Amino acid sequence: MSARVVVMGVSGSGKTTVAEKLADRIGAALVEGDDLHPQANRDKMRSGTPLTDDDRWPWLDRVAAALESTDGPVVVTCSALKRAYRDRLRAGAPGTFFVHLDGDPQLLKDRQAAREGHFMPPSLMDSQLDTLEQLGADEAGVRLDVAAPPERLADEAAAAVRDHADA
């Protein structure tokens, strides 16, 4: 089976940057999960309103479909903040491995505030941090600290993906 990887974390954690580098390292296709959001979700977030689970389920189904339908290895960015969301992704794309980009809340807030041109406003960071459920010990994945440079994060993620594939 080809690698199915979700690079997860709150907004501003570096998902896209690390996912691009990881995809290059493991020879995978890259899918930007934000592009799979329906316009209604984007509009809601842009207005500063957090998404509900009912908003997220159809989006998560699109993410799972992208994981399942892509030929060969694939890396997808997706916040995947709750265990239930990750369970939904695994149900649609069995064997998915999660790379959780996590770190000091203040660092994450500072990075989010420095972003320009993204539909997710910094005002939603606290909501995301409150929603975040760490990977469980029984979940296939790795947690990486975003204080490290993106190149190192991608190297560590690639090693974890390879170790998982060899297990």
Q: H-type helices in the chain, by residue range?
A: 15-26, 39-46, 53-69, 83-92, 105-114, 125-131, 150-166
Q: State the pLDDT at residue 46.
A: 82
For 65-74, give one letter per residue: b (16+ CB within 10 A) or e.
ebbeebeebb
Structural domains of the chain in order of their starting residue, each with its CATH number? 4-166 (3.40.50.300)
- Among 160, 153, 159, 161, which Cα is nearest to 73's? 161
pLDDT at 104 over 60: yes
Measure Cα distances from 28 to 31, 37, 76, 77 in Å: 10, 22, 10, 13
DSSP summary character for residue 13: S
Q: What are the tens digits of pLDDT across the range 5-55?
A: 999 999 889 999 999 999 999 999 999 998 999 999 988 888 888 888 999
Q: State the pLDDT at residue 3.
A: 93
CB 96 within 8 A of CB 141: no
pTM (predicted TM-score): 0.90
Q: What are the tens digits of pLDDT across the range 42-99?
A: 888 888 888 889 999 999 999 999 999 999 999 999 999 999 999 999 999 999 999 9
